[in-house]
Homo-oligomer: A and B are copies of this chain.
């Protein structure tokens, strides 16, 4: 594809108007929306209103003017993006904390089952939190195996499978319906981590028969740095599971101030403490932007951007670790390179922001709402120049930051 061809594709892109709804910095090609989504323009006035009017002027009265039901309201909007009913999703805490709640609840669901089955190389917090969860349930254990050993690991002792729908490094995507059915065949619950799929690929939790899910607000949902996360519990399970983090906001009557805990009906029981309203407002602005988007357009453009970047990578001799088939991957593309860290830094110095994942992965988010074909074309040009001149060999680019 030539630059002019890329421009023509952008001009014909039905998603092009969405780009103007983001405040993208000048001189930057942002290929890291899978790590931190950029600022929706609507987020700034939403935050100002939250701070100056709702907090500043209305003060405590705002709890009865839209704050107290924000977790359910925003959850209901996210539900529309993941094939769930509005009353099956709630916004709360972080992905890590929500994983803990659901894993402990799943381990307690059937006392005859003791094992969480997951994948080695899953996103670390999933495995770390699973370690913490099994320590909270007598007899429970975590069995993390390689992807090709997963089928054999799911058995009559499996309480719950913990799989990340789209892999954070490679972008590989599980067939959600198939693996949910596999869990159910052994009598286990299926818990999906949607952090790299919500807003990235089509998700149909109810269509797949999924039991439980968690997901991240700050990646493809563009909810702001460290935005609150969400969790999903299928209707049929809602009365049968309870949160180990039995905080007052999940109580059936929090303002009756009773000594004894009684879980609220529905999803409200998954709340623990008071929701962080500043962060909630950022998330809501990000989610609202998604509600009018045609997701077929997103899927088609994601595939096209991937193909373009894959062709550039092939031309530059880079080893692509992401699957070629769009149905088998998410919306990022990853390459393996021995100097991936320095290469990433050299790209950032040229205004192309992707990220590095230890030890040797260079990762680029392909986010159809605000990324154009010409952006990807131009990123490929700069990547080619850096490789051709070995500009990444500058020792300055090897200095490790706290966050890589």
Which residues of A are at the interface with B, using a C-beta cutoff of 8 A? 23, 25, 28, 30, 32, 35-36, 38-39, 43-44, 47-48, 51-52, 54-64, 67-69, 93-97, 100, 104, 120-125, 127-129, 131-132, 135-138, 144, 218, 224-229, 243-249, 251, 254-261, 272-282, 348, 353, 355, 357-358, 401-404
Contacts of A136 in B (CB 8 A): 104, 135-137, 244
A133 nearest CB neighbor, chain B only? B244
A401 nearest CB neighbor, chain B only? B64
Contacts of A275 in B (CB 8 A): 226
A105 → chain B closest CB, angstroms? 11
- Chain B CB count within 10 A is highest, among A30, A246, A258, A278, for A278
Would you call B245 and A97 a contact (CB within 8 A)?
Answer: yes
Whole-angstrom CA separation of A9 from B227 in the bound complex: 44
Copy count, this protein chain: 2
Query: Given A124-B257, A255-B404, A404-B255, are A226 and B132 neighbors across the interface (CB < 8 Å)?
Result: no
Would you call A272 and B97 a contact (CB within 8 A)?
Answer: yes
Would you call B47 and A278 a contact (CB within 8 A)?
Answer: yes
Q: Which of B68, B353, B403 contacts A68 (CB 8 A)?
A: B403
Q: Which of B58, B67, B121, B358 contacts A255 (CB 8 A)?
A: B358
A149 → chain B closest CB, angstroms? 14
Whole-angstrom CA separation of A257 from B136 in the bound complex: 23
Q: Can you list 5 residue pairs at the A/B interface with Cβ under 8 Å? A: A30-B59, A60-B355, A129-B247, A226-B280, A276-B279
Q: A38-B56, A64-B401 are in contact. List 4 more A-B contacts (CB 8 A).
A: A97-B245, A124-B251, A132-B244, A135-B244
Contacts of A358 in B (CB 8 A): 255-257
Whole-angstrom CA separation of A47 from B225 in the bound complex: 12
A348 nearest CB neighbor, chain B only? B61
Whole-angstrom CA separation of A224 from B225 in the bound complex: 17
